[in-house]
Structure 1
Amino acid sequence: MASPYGDYDQRIDYMFKVVVIGDSAVGKSQILSRFAKNEFSLDSKSTIGVEFQTRTIAIDNKTIKTQIWDTAGQERYRAVTSAYYRGALGAMLVYDITKRQSFDHVARWLEELRGHADNNIVIMLIGNKCDLRDMRAVPEEDAKEFAQREGLFFFETSALEAINVETAFITALTEIYRIVSRKALTANEEERNGNAAALTGTKIALSSPEQPVMTVKKRSCC
């Protein structure tokens, strides 16, 4: 049986680009590694610039290959990584539940993302390291309220314990698939309607020819 973390050999129906953003050291690379390869490394180092991994999944019997871009959180890389937002259909915006500052910076990351990405991008807010319950600095209710206000999906995750990482990614990818397939359906319907109009042509109503009018002159009697 093939591993769910390996690419399928069959043809790819869709290719989705997703970016993982947020402050440095919130666990972005670990979340990506957990989803793409089901791995976690205690010796993980800070990402330099941008790296990406892939994973192929199935949604609605469609094969979807996902390119997931892991962006550096350090300020000095911000000008470089912003270019990678273009073409992204989804974004995982990550903060560390034990670092209040990483959550306070979420609004800035969101503003930057919306300034460079497509208007229909699916955004998932992720509160990582939920296994460190005793060190929590960001109440879950605060994040839920922010996500609801901004129209974001939300999950708390633990890359270390593999909590909700799979669910968060699959939820975001399923929503992307719904948006993309809905656009494709609308485009197909418009194309069909356009072709039908071209084949049918425009009906022109022709007026019937006027009937001649006969004038009968009555003779007056003498």
Structure 2
Amino acid sequence: MRTFFLIAFLIVALASVVPILSNNSASSASVLIGIQEEISIILKKIFQLQKDLDFLKAQKPEVEVYVAPPADIEEPAVNVRTDYIPLVSHNLQEGLVVLYKFSVTAGPDRPEVIDTFTFVIEKQDISLKRLELYAFADSEFTTSAFTTNPAGKYTASLDDERKTVRITITNGEGTPAKIPAGETYYFELRGISAGKNISARITTILEGFAAEILE
């Protein structure tokens, strides 16, 4: 808009100079009058244009930008939790030995089907056989969780010093073994050891959890 006023100023300045340069010429009087009238018309148009622009600016609505808050991301519910239970004794004897204990808790929304547990067994200077996984409905390990106990067995050879063992759970009824919603079942891995030497040791690891070492 400053450009409009600059043009108007130049036109007015020119109109004021021309009469001085040509005041001795009577014939130019009518021409100067015409120029001044044209200048007046131009100035009126400029002022009107300025008013129109001011009006349009006043009428332009302000645009409000709404920024939505970030949506809450719900973490998927975990319906099962497995916990390691430390052994009370780590004394390795010949005969029946408890190798590992853990618990599995089903979430509150639905029962949890349990299928297979994976262990890593390492041993030295001792033999181990007849791995059995028992399932209990109480933390005292006294009440069987399923119709049959042990709920799973491993009957393959354990001659290797390090062995990955997978034990499948059954409920003794021919249907998938389940932990009721909101309940916890307790598991105990047992084996039979023999031929113990002075440096005998058995290390048992439930996949993803701490190791238990008997020696």
Greater RCO, CA 8 A, separation 6+: 2
Indicate whether the TM-score tops 0.5.
no
TM-score normalised by L of structure 2: 0.28
Choose between structure 1 and 2: higher helix proportion: 1
Larger Rg computed on CA atoms: 2
TM-score normalised by L of structure 1: 0.27
Choose between structure 1 and 2: higher strand proportion: 2
